[in-house]
Structure 1
Amino acid sequence: MANSPHGGILKDLYIRDEPLKATLQAEAETLPHVVLTERQLCDLELILNGGFSPLQGFHTQAEYTSVVTTSRLPSGALWTIPIYLDINRAHLDTLGAVPGSRLTLRDPRDDQPLAIITISDIYTVDRTQEALQVYGTTDEAHPAVHYLRHNTRDTLVGGDVQAVNAPQHYDYVAIRRSPNEVRQLFKKLNWTRVVAFQTRNPMHRAHRELTVRAARMRHANVLIQPVVGLTKPGDIDHFTRVRVYQAIMPKYPNGMAQLSLLPLAMRMGGPREAVWHAIIRKNFGATHFIVGRDHAGPGSNSQGVDFYGPYEAQDLVLKYRDELDIEVVPFQMLTYLPDTDEYQPINEVAEGVKTLNISGTELRRRLKTGAPIPEWFSYPEVVRILREANPPRDHQGFTVFLTGLHASGKESIARALQVALNQEGGRSVSLLLGETIRQELSSELGYTKRERDINVARIGFVAAELTRSGAACIAAPIAPYNEARQQVRKQVARAGGFYLVHVATPLEACIKNDRAGVYARAIAGDIKGFTGIDDVYEAPSNADLVADVTKTSISQIVHEIILLLERDGYIGDR
């Protein structure tokens, strides 16, 4: 096993020669360019800084085929995850890209040129075979398979890259270290044996205990290296997680551990990904790597069965242990023994001994409801950070989205609901009426389907931002089209609660209630494309509440909305 913290020869691609760097900078500004996706940005950063050594660029077709089918590069070097630059063929054609062409790769955040790729080949692949051979499934419940099917562009471009600029980060700069910087840190600290621990979740007492045990068993120091690139959809944001890691670092004995961030785009590829992680940690200079239960596993498939066995990842990494030149430290899940106030590997606990554990689902429930989280499970400092990022429902924002025909009564319901929520107190309440939005945000828009969809999308954006800030938002546009409403639901639901209320007052009653005479003008043909007359209204099939003001009073409808909010914990005791 490797005993040197240098992890073998590593060469990053950054240019130290200033005249050459200036020449590449000038060339990058003249070349056709591609704006990278978030995943491509993560991959490129690790190609450039040596984290993906021995890669010198994005996979060519020969490299891609070899990795997918054999888990090796054509040179024979172990490499288990394909790293490719996917671009739509139509876009490549507009760029005039052919083998031998050079393209500038730009940062999607600030448009800065990061690298120049010299195209070796342009090719297409069988996505089904990639899914089966790399991830072992075609089930789109697997995030990598879903990404492959819905986010990957139709054509792949392979070739070596030349660095122009390093990606610019503004968060946690002091602990964003390249492989060479991490190696230099080990050298400065006189660390010769380093066990690396990867995490994409907050750390609790069990994780601290696990890493200390690993260090003790291997007479090593600990590198905590959390992923701050792409992780599993729905994971806690990296800002919250890094604050947790910073809070837990003082819990280690002085001088035992260091924290350094990894800008990796995970694929959640289980066994193959675990091998990939081990290669990356060797490049960062670690001599040991912890592989725990279901390492890099995405959870359950669409039938509710785990994609990978709990220790498949450990088995595959151990298979390649000599070739990896990094010692694998396999670990069972730890469980808490209340009688002795200690953590033990679950396979070492004698039968009949009382154990305690809190699952991820139970932790999320306790955070949502404000239920206590015991100190045996996590440190108070960690719990405080998690509670700040995951406030209970009665401190979260929500949107009530009322949709219905003109003069259906939705505006009256919205105003009455605003009064009721202001009376309830506890959060700010914003009212987005259809006519107000038309005047203030969408005055340049007409009433074609496309323009109506743009108007509803703007309402959705504002509603999502208000919801994210913890406010109550009441929106009351006509919003006649189902697809646009669904997009708003998805957008807002990522920020907090969303309730769709269909004000299903019949057209005849709406016409009767229309004091401005707009329906009469539409019927006479003076207004074209008017919803309910000569343009369709697609009644929602998934409304949380259906109301009709000809059958139910405004106050009763508002009460029923309040009951929905109370049921889900958004209002009530604070």
Structure 2
Amino acid sequence: MANTPHGGVLKDLHARDLSIRSELLKEADSLPDLALTERQLCDLELILSGGFSPLEGFMTEKDYNGVVNDLRLADGALFSMPINLDVSAQEIETIGIAPGKRIVLRDFRDESPLAIITVEDVYKPNKETEAVNVFRGDPEHPAVKYLYNTVKEFYVGGKVQALNRPNHYDYAGLRYTPSELRAEFNKLGWNRVVAFQTRNPMHRAHRELTVRAARSRQANVLIHPVVGLTKPGDIDHFTRVRVYQALLPRYPNGMALLSLLPLAMRMGGDREAVWHAIIRKNFGATHFIVGRDHAGPGKNSKGVDFYGPYDAQELVEKYRDELGIEVVPFQQMTYLPDADEYAPKDEVAPGVKTLDISGTELRKRLRLGLPIPEWFSYPEVVKVLRESHPPRVSQGFTIFLTGYHNSGKDAIARALTYTLNQQGGRSVSLLLGETVRSELSAELGFSRADRHKNIQRIAFVAAELTRAGAAVIAAPTAPYDDSRKLARDTVSQSGSFFLVHVATPLEYCESTDRKGIFAKARKGEITGFTGVDDPYEAPADADITVDVSTTSVRTIVHQIVLLLESQGFFGN
């Protein structure tokens, strides 16, 4: 089977621009520049390497509209995902972005110049049309959220010229460009290659299905995992790559090769499957495994899967002739304990005993340190997962107490600190509101913006400590719901977050205020004081609600400890 690139020619812009690179670098010193976001950086890398062939730059308005409406570039070539360079009105004005302008595109991480774009047009997209046509419009779809909340209001179209490759300091030896991977296949004598797309760890079932797919096509296996942006909450790529490396020796000798793909996924289901097929064709694969609910982000706002289970396979099959890559349907594998082997579920006779472990069950076993059987995953793979995902008893967490001044949250926080230190097992850090204000946020006032910034600083520190395995107890006033929600989101990326609403009534807080702070606020000597002339937005999402006017601090601390215990944070 031929493995010509999509469109017939691999658009390796690094090779194309190599002879004039020194001239381009000199020119870049005098040009305005634009720092790319993480998604833009992933997109640019694959444009430059030819992974997105036949693209030679970011889509113009004609290309964008064609892809959004008909899965076609302006010249009629099949392409299913819009690839856009989004900019703000401020950037357009400050940088002077306009048709004919040449602009340096820089890596936001180290400011290295990567490419020069010659601007062809600047246009305002119809985001609603893009959301509906490309991602089916559900507001809970992660790509739709990203489109409305993160993507800027204007798109810039134009071809790019290569200056430098992005600097990668991890797994450099596994990051093949399309040209490099094709050369590697040629060196190995591989002319039939089955590509396997993944953004998750691989276990025995994945090994079995890829081996079966390769053997049935007399081909080799390309394990081609995404290491760019994936679905929020996915396991980090460092852990996943260590899993793939541990799994590789389990393949028959010489059957499989691992290469990393710096793709920013959109979780776009059927359209994304077509996009993935185009990319794998450009990297030299002749066959591509398309899974059940391929690149689907899960459930929508109504609790139903965003995409049908076979939507992706059907759309890729529809464009099979144009894609020029053979689709291999993903087979759901199940373990047959009596035979000690895996088999496709649809080939198992009725009444035959089978065993499976769901993703939810696997996460539970990792969280609680429970056994993971060898029939499900190889010991070397489990070892990697346990190192990166220790059981709850070894994980950090954050207890975030919120409430009025003098509500008792500081007393609860201090008492909880003593209790957790007594139990041992992890370091304990106490972040009291007044302490953080004096040490971390001394320059901030008490406006809504400054209060929000203060809470995000607390959340940042708490997240870093939680990631390191500490128990963090934070006790700011945190009167605003949006600030608390963002704090939860920030910390939850590093570990567990528990919100404790210290709902002691304002009257009680004021009547027991021996320092007279409320009295000063009532007299106007202190302004912007929560509960007096600034609101407190009571949380509706608290994990525990307590009240020191009716319950002792000791009992409240015990309630929090019981919550932590029920979640597995303390040993048996």
TM band (smaller chain): over 0.9
Moved more, 41-50 or 342-351: 342-351
Matches within 5 A, 1:551-570: 551-570=550-569
Q: What SS is found at the alignment partner of 1:399? A: strand
Q: Which moved more, 1:432-441 or 1:51-60?
A: 432-441
Aligned 1:406-425 pairs, distance under 5 A: 406-425=405-424
What is the aligned partner in structure 2 of residue 125 from structure 1?
A: 125
For 2:323 and 2:226, locate their aligned partners in 1 and report how far apart those are by CA, in whole Å: 21
Deviation at 1:572, TM superposition (A): 4.1
Q: Which amino acid is 1:64 matched to?
A: Y
Once residues 521 and 269 of structure 2 are traced to their aligned partners in structure 1, the CA distance between those partners, rounded to angstroms, is 60
What is the CA-CA distance between 1:183 and the residue it aligns to? Answer: 1.1
Counterpart in the other structure of 1:143: 142
TM-score (norm 1): 0.95
Q: Which residue of 1 aligns with 2:274?
A: 275
> Where does residue 320 of structure 2 map in the other structure?
321
Partner amino acid for 1:195?
V
Residues 1:527 and 1:496: Cα distance change in structure 2 (over 3 Å): same
Paired residues of 1:7 and 1:287 also in contact (CA < 8 A): no
Give the C-alpha shift of residue 278 in structure 1: 1.4
1:29-70 deviation per Cα after TM superposition (whole angstroms, max 9, x unaligned)? 332222212111111100000111111001111111222222
Partner of 1:388: 387
**1:308 aligned to 2:307?**
yes
Aligned to 1:39: 39
Q: Is the 8 A contact 1:15 1:164 kept in 2?
A: no
2:97 is aligned to: 97
Separation (CA, whole Å) in 1 of partners of 2:468 and 2:264: 28
CA contact (8 A) 1:399 1:467 kept: yes
Q: Give the 5 Å matches for 1:245-264.
A: 245-264=244-263
Quote the residue 1:154 is aligned against: 153
1:5–1:287 Cα contact (<8 Å) kept: no
Q: Which residue of 2 aligns with 1:522?
A: 521
Alignment match, 1:66: 66
- State the partner residue of 1:428: 427
> What is the root-mean-square deviation in Å for CA atoms of aligned residues?
2.1
2:444 equivalent to 1:445:
yes
Question: How far apart are 1:508 and its partner, in Å?
Answer: 4.2
Aligned residue for 1:122, secondary structure, equals strand
Report the Cα distance in structure 2 between the residues aligned to 1:365 and 1:41, rounded to whole angstroms.
35
Shift of 1:512: 4.5
Query: 1:523 & 1:295 partners in 2: Cα distance?
Result: 60
What letter matches 1:368 in structure 2? R
1:191 alignment counterpart? 190
Q: Does 1:487 align with 2:510?
A: no
Q: Give 5+ residue unaligned stretches, structure 2.
A: none
3-state SS of the aligned residue for 1:350? coil
What is the match of residue 28 of structure 1?
28
Q: Aligned in 2, Cα 1:23/1:492: closer, same or farther, shift over 3 Å? A: same
**TM-superposed deviation, 1:539:** 3.0
* Residue identity in the other structure for 1:279: I
Secondary structure at the counterpart of residue 336 of structure 1: strand
User: Which secondary structure does the structure 2 equivalent of 1:263 belong to?
Assistant: coil
**For residues 297 and 410 of structure 1, what CA distance do their matches in structure 2 show?**
43
| Distance 1:522-1:170 versus aligned 2 partners, 3 A rule | same
| Distance 1:3-1:497 versus aligned 2 partners, 3 A rule | closer
**1:244, CA displacement in angstroms?**
0.4
CA contact (8 A) 2:6 2:278 kept: no
1:87 matched to 2:87: yes
Q: How many Å apart are 1:5 and its aligned residue?
A: 10
Deviation track 1:451-501 (CA, whole Å, cap 9, x = no partner) reads 222222211111111111111111112222222222212211222222222
Name the CA distance, whole Å, in 1 between partners of 2:84 and 2:7: 25
Q: For the Cα contact (< 8 Å) 1:404–1:504, is it kept in 2?
A: yes
CA distance in 2, matches of 1:469, 1:179: 38
- For the residue of structure 2 that corresponds to 1:453, the secondary structure is helix
Once the two structures are overlaid, the 10-residue window that deviates more, 88-97 or 336-345, is 88-97
> How far, CA to CA, are the matches of 2:545 and 2:300 in structure 1?
34
Percent of aligned pairs with the same residue?
A: 66
Matched residues in 2 for 1:198 and 1:114: separation? 27
